[in-house]
Structure 1
């Protein structure tokens, strides 16, 4: 897709909105040789988050004592090297670097999480067969589209970060014209529609997601946002809830409802702090509803969102101190 055919592109745009689809030469031997590396907590942002804005990055969370990890590693590395540069593989030893796995909520290994544009988008756990690994990589990378799809998705993410929602939408629509079942584009466009107030349009787009991809993180996050918005719309006036809390700081229901409204208004930190306050005061309140709601917020905000990461640390410290 070129600017000539993209009604949303701008000649003065500070990011690339010109993306062409078509075949490209296979990755050369050097690309295959550099497709796999180890990472640390300190280098994770560079090796994974930044690199995933160029192409999908798979993170293999493993440990030396893990038998299934040793079974998975040779097959995973073989398929990655044979993928022709579709993806990169980054390996993280959770014994030496446990914090990232903890922030992502990984509870068993081996776990392989795919990142695109700085966000986790898909994954699997266990020592799966080579054919399943190949299918996973094809799904993550966009089989048949190669770097062009990734380039368009990266440009869309950059446009959105810059506040240019029209260009972002145009790029995502171009991806869907090439790959109608691309879950990252479907989720991204649905999220844009939701942000601009078109909830019905977002729901209609999500209804078309293939059944086997309905649980993909990019799609699940938008569904979570829609559910939260619907809940918040039924909660009434935040000023009245704040008045109730001023009179009785132990009114957990008022604090819970206020957190829901704050989240709907984009006040994530305030919403998280109110739910954390309930967990700290009485975790058993309403069958642990505050902690459960925080987990739903994390799904909607994204696993690597700054508020998600900060709140997860606070919650872990509170529960295990």
Structure 2
């Protein structure tokens, strides 16, 4: 591990690409930034419990990537006050344990919305215009032209109108697309602007030329796109998932693509990221010529990571300073329950 600045609070960072400006910000606010020296190609989500405990011993703050934040891990780290995700998904954090043990868990809300929305549009264009096949042909010495499909004035279904989903809708305006939307909460601004048409899930699967999912991964949304819903999609349509592996049943998607019941898919996330039994499914998906795949890079640009680093660091500084981070960033806060427990004792 590489200690970069001296300070009052030890803050361990188990993510790569942590910029010097954010390290300086932490140092200026009484924090010692310690970057975990991860093996090449390995992320914090791959590390065993014993290694995580060793890395985080004595830390007051933890800026985390994709590690599982379990009750057992938190209990082994009595000094740890705040777990700050450099990202927005928190399905790998045991929120009940965070509250029960008097800790705080935060996300970098609003920092990577634009970056992921950009990638989503990029995946739509790349798979529809058959970029992968075009480049493979050129590399083989062929100038044959695979005919692609426009995004211009097509019908795009957006499932989930959170920050990223809304960003995708704004970008689609430039393509003069008709946007169908599904969300449990109606965005009155977008509806009033005529930017979206709210429909039910059945309609959004049936009528979309492009379907992109931007929902959180919960028991309710797991395998939202599966055989029962995919079979209603048009054979000329494209499925995009740049949100979370598990929103799409990759086995069912693979079958639909191989049977030509879908035109293609743009994928940044896969079920196999959390379930190794799907590794062969992932390998088959990314081998298909009508799949454009990226290795969960949605938030990973220099600009996007700079923003998420800073928000994650600001959350750490706020908690360690006795303050509360912005409400949009807090996913669990057990400090009051811990105080009540101490008073009762």
Under a length normalisation based on structure 2, what TM-score does the superposition of the two structures give? 0.26
- Which structure: greater strand fraction? 2
Under a length normalisation based on structure 1, what TM-score does the superposition of the two structures give? 0.28
